[in-house]
Amino acid sequence: MAVTIDGLISGLDTASIITSLLELEKRPVDLLEAKQDVIDGQLSAWQEISTKLLSLETASLNINNSSKFNAIGSTFVNNNALQGGVVNVLANDNVITGSNSLSVYQIATQQKIVSDQGFGSTTQNIGHWSTTITTSTGTQTFYQTTLDELKSAINSSGLGVTASIINTSSTSTPYYRLQVTSNQPGVDNGFDLSVNQGLTGLGDPGILLSFSTMQQAQDAIVALDGITVTRSTNVFSDLIEGVELELLSAGSGTITFSTDTSQIVENMGEFVDAYNNVMGFIREQLVYNPAIDETGPLFGNSTLLVIQTSLTNMVTGVVSGLSQTIDPYTTLSQVGIYTELATSKLVLDSNSLVKALTDNFEGVRNLFVPAGSGTYTFVTAGGSASGGTYDTRVTNSGGNLVVQMRAQGSTGSWITLEQTGNYWDGPPGTVLEGLSIRAANLADGQTGTMSFSTGVAEQISYRVGFITEYSTESVIYNQLTSLETRKDDYQDQIDNLNLRIERKRVSMVRRYAQLEVTLAQLKSQSSYLTQQFESLLGLNK
């Protein structure tokens, strides 16, 4: 049973006294809870940084390889300026720039037929006769006696045709006719339809339907650069590699594929914006305001400072592996992407970028995407690889020929690449991790050189992926885990302190309760003694 204190005997507000005394005991709890609030702010900051970094990774991935960087635009110029559209052209980024002549002699069409007879109602009895349809998928015969029944039976047959009912008159006086259309264009997708006389014993055969052809099935015929091709479809995806052509009408003209600098500039703008969002938020976390003696949630965090420095170096320094004496561009500032000193933000000068793309497209591309050349065929170089020029050699190891590389001019150890068929990859944990080359027809003692660069976009996408991945190797994961652990430790301390405070409160309540009991006893004794003294005084008188 809980002990209550009312202070009726002592006249003391013992509850308030205990509360005041315990407030001093709770001061360490308040301090620990304040530390937890700080950690919550830091957790929130790291999570926001992770989100912004992932946006930067997405923007980097849009420009981190040749196919994505080579934004290709396509145009079709009709030979007849008065004619409408002839073809829609959809090209991916692997298309080789250039022009092709295209002539569309005819487009593929579906077969369409319609009944010569019509009826005032779709549910009207139209007689007893059979309809047989033959397509490339088979033959079926139907014995329906209304247009609705016949339409439904045809549509559920799986013959590759569709039946519909059309009204060729007015709403008030309808004249319903049956139309049958092949589902796909082309001669091979056409069909035969025949109607047979009514069946004996089923009553009046009614009107024997007949059908007229509204459109013949035909194949598309085109000529690409003088070579004629026939297809049963109007969508050609195998005439030009990486290009889909959708035929619209007969006609001719020229298709031109060229680098779409506007798309590249747009992608670069998204990359710059994503980078500025990350770096701007990082600066907010590291700021110190002496006027109010206030710091950002992650002020002084060494890990965040390393992230800030590494990202800055990637976009401001010379791209790893590019030569200032050979390559036309080695820094982003040379193509119109520079750091504004006043704000430390990246700025995109689109005019300068377009000029650089026009002057030397490959030079700009090599700033962002992996590139390489040398004795063997360069395949790719991931962001973990260290760009530069390397000597190569082929040596016999255990009876097998292997390819080895080391930095040109170095006297260090040779790095043996890992083989998969004709492909050789840099081993994990080395400066060549992420490098892939293709080498065939090897000979013992063969030597050569390989030069490669990784590109800013590839470096950033790799680095950001490493920072944000959900594993024990991730920088942010470890930061979050450490903070959560500290927060849990503080909570354990808070729980222990609260338990001690509660025990002390119970002890104090009992002591003050005992004080009240003792005072009550003393008061009772005082009253008794007073009465006794008064009685003695009365007797003496």
**What's the whole-number mean pLDDT along residues 126-145?**
87
For tokens 């082309």, what's the residue? 186
276-322 pLDDT tens trace = 999 999 999 988 777 777 788 899 899 999 999 999 999 998 998 99
By DSSP bridging, strand 227-231 and strand 377-381 are unpaired
451-475 exposure pattern, b = at least 16 Cβ within 10 A, e = fewer: bbbbbbbbbbbbbbbebbeeeeebb
What does the alpha-carbon distance between residue 132 and residue 203 come to, in Å, rounded to a whole number? 20
Give the pLDDT score at 120.
92
86-114 exposure pattern, b = at least 16 Cβ within 10 A, e = fewer: bbebebebebeeeebebbbeebbbbbebb
59-112 pLDDT tens trace = 999 898 777 787 788 889 999 877 778 999 988 767 888 899 999 999 999 999
Nearest partner of 187 among 215, 222, 163, judged by Cα: 215
**What's the whole-number mean pLDDT along residues 154-164?**
95
Per-residue pLDDT at 9 exceeds 80: no
Give the pLDDT score at 12.
63
Binned at pLDDT 50, 70 and 90, residue 22 comes out as: confident
Binned at pLDDT 50, 70 and 90, residue 457 comes out as: very high
What does the alpha-carbon distance between residue 373 and residue 378 come to, in Å, rounded to a whole number? 6
CA dihedral 431, 433, 437, 438 (to 10 degrees): 130
What does the alpha-carbon distance between residue 92 and residue 90 come to, in Å, rounded to a whole number? 7
Per-residue pLDDT at 2 exceeds 80: no
Binned at pLDDT 50, 70 and 90, residue 202 comes out as: very low
Per-residue pLDDT at 200 exceeds 50: no
What rounded mean pLDDT belongs to the chain? 88
**What's the whole-number mean pLDDT along residues 373-397?**
93
Give the pLDDT score at 8.
52
Give the pLDDT score at 520.
75
**What's the whole-number mean pLDDT along residues 472-489?**
89
Q: Which two tokens stand for residue 445?
A: 């003692």
Give the pLDDT score at 328.
92
Give the pLDDT score at 198.
57
35-67 pLDDT tens trace = 999 999 999 999 999 999 999 999 999 898 777
Q: Give me the amino acid identity at 23.
A: E
What does the alpha-carbon distance between residue 500 and residue 508 come to, in Å, rounded to a whole number? 12
**What's the whole-number mean pLDDT along residues 457-471?**
88
Per-residue pLDDT at 428 exceeds 90: yes
Sign of CA dihedral 341, 342, 345, 346: negative
Q: Which two tokens stand for residue 163?
A: 């039946």
Q: Which two tokens stand for residue 64?
A: 């981190």
Give the pLDDT score at 420.
92
Specify burial of residue 275 (Cβ count, 10 A radius: 0-12, 13-18, 19+): buried
Nearest partner of 437 among 364, 481, 385, judged by Cα: 385
For tokens 């962001």, what's the residue? 383
Helix (H, G, I), strand (E, B) or coil at 264: helix
**What's the whole-number mean pLDDT along residues 480-489?**
93
**What's the whole-number mean pLDDT along residues 186-204?**
76
Binned at pLDDT 50, 70 and 90, residue 177 comes out as: very high
Binned at pLDDT 50, 70 and 90, residue 355 comes out as: very high
**What's the whole-number mean pLDDT along residues 347-370?**
93
